[in-house]
Homo-oligomer: A and B are copies of this chain.
């Protein structure tokens, strides 16, 4: 571990900075797939992932489970609807909410996309050994808990 002189800071070894850089790096690594090949940006990808793994969900639900701001979700949904990847039905008992669903084309994209993305994740994590991976994930979980980010 890096030694650190009191009162001096070197950004390169500073964990919050490294963590941010790493998250950006991993995100870009993934974006190669969903952006270049499917024309999705991050919010759109997250909406696709969320809608695809459930049957009918509301924008509200998407916002909660992705932790994105509701306006970001609203705009992502609008884009995806324009591209006919998802559709909305103002069906339920609550006539404020609108049920969001994948269209045929959206479902097709989802089933093409998800395995590629999961493979990328697997391939990324493979650069850690099995045991170190466990340690790394445990660390992430502990930090998440400490910061109150759980589930």
**Number of copies of this chain that the complex holds:** 2
Encode contact with B along A1-41: 1 for CB under 8 Å, 0 otherwise. Answer: 10010111111101111111111111101100000000000
Show 23 A/B contacts (Cβ-Cβ < 8 Å), sorted by A. Answer: A1-B134, A6-B115, A7-B114, A10-B53, A11-B49, A11-B50, A11-B65, A11-B66, A15-B125, A15-B140, A16-B29, A19-B23, A19-B26, A19-B140, A20-B26, A20-B27, A22-B23, A22-B149, A25-B149, A124-B147, A128-B142, A132-B139, A136-B139
Return the 10 tightest CB-CB contacts between A and B, nearest first.
Answer: A135-B135, A136-B139, A23-B23, A127-B146, A25-B147, A20-B23, A19-B23, A16-B26, A9-B114, A25-B149
